[in-house]
Chains A and B, each alone.
Chain A
């Protein structure tokens, strides 16, 4: 565990060093107001890039959250396979996946994963 931590730290440090080297090596020029403005095909930006909020993408994220929590609930199934009563394990796992599948079909039926409407 300690070694893993050290190595992750090492990776972070190495990537920081790479960025730092590129900052040192890179071409320097006077900062120009037009050059620093956000890229928009030669125009000045018409709208702010911070305000837009898409409900559609948000809903996809909410559905993802549900499924991700369910994945996190399924993962322990593997480790408990050899520890618990086999019959109970089979019942619970089948029940769980069928609930997941029915939930997906229900969301499909309710047009939650419809992209264009």
Chain B
């Protein structure tokens, strides 16, 4: 009996993984389309029906490009860091909360934190090991940015955890039955949204790969497979961050269909922000993390602690 359960979970995870990969592929298509329409032009619309097959063509093109071996690079580390990053971002998807067929971690939030914190290493190591000044600068920036935003992310998340007093993600849907945490913890939820933009190195904060100053940031020296894996990892972490936002702040009832509509709306928001906002300035980014989000989230942590205590008494 337990073996059958194991088999079911295993098959479910495989299907989830394939779903994530296809979702990531179509997220790139959505991004190109949306950016196209924002700039009053059409995105890719030739391949397949209306550009439906574009992501697969992109993938085939990426995987058949030439792979480079940068001189004096630490080749083994250079080769393996995208792989580690990609498998980490797939591992993150194990904590998707369901009552059946998946794991429902008791300490899901802790699992989330351990996986996202490990993601920093792949950025740093891929920047450092390719022996280029641009990629080193991009890697340093990415590390400083991700690290600073991780602190505020953790404290904002602590407020949510204190509201539900559990690390289990399934609890979130019980506590948001009547009111979304988006409204209940209003400014803080938007802080989480922008912190997750910074955590995934998305556009208003994409200093890790600022095209205008560093050519492509930490992945200058990467071509075909390595670049594809970095790209996939980045986009799957975008999807996961929007999943976390829907879970934590928009009534995370993950069994309903509307949940996935909200998820895709939030990943659309990620792209929308990219099409709208110009890049920030690096020192302002650091100030935003340390002088604005961190004090605000700590003060709100005190507030929600008091709120919980009043409720409990």
Contact = CB atoms under 8 A, between A and B. Distances in A.
A39 B137 CA distance: 13
A101 B215 CA distance: 39
Main secondary structure of the interface of B (DSSP, over half): helix
B228 interface: yes
Contact of B132 (A33, A45, A54, A98): A45
Contacts of B305: 90, 93-94, 97
B132 A39 contact: yes
B298 A19 contact: no
B225 A23 contact: yes
Interface in A103-117: 104-105, 108, 113, 115-116
A97 B298 contact: yes
Contact of A28 (B66, B132, B166): B66
Contacts of B291: 108, 113
Contacts of A3: 6, 9-10, 103
Interface in A62-117: 63-64, 67-68, 71, 74-75, 78-79, 81-82, 86, 90, 93-94, 97-98, 100-101, 104-105, 108, 113, 115-116
Interface string A21-58: 11101111101010111111100010101101010010
Contact of B133 (A36, A40, A79, A81): A40
B299 A8 contact: no
Q: Which of A4, A54, A98 has the most chain B CB atoms closer than 10 A to its own CB? A: A4
B147 interface: yes
B140 A57 contact: yes
Interface in B153-180: 154-155, 158, 161-162, 165-167
A1 B275 CA distance: 42
Interface of A: 3-4, 6-8, 10-12, 14-16, 18-19, 21-23, 25-29, 31, 33, 35-41, 45, 47, 49-50, 52, 54, 57, 60-61, 63-64, 67-68, 71, 74-75, 78-79, 81-82, 86, 90, 93-94, 97-98, 100-101, 104-105, 108, 113, 115-116
6 contacts: A3-B6, A14-B87, A35-B68, A38-B132, A49-B135, A60-B286
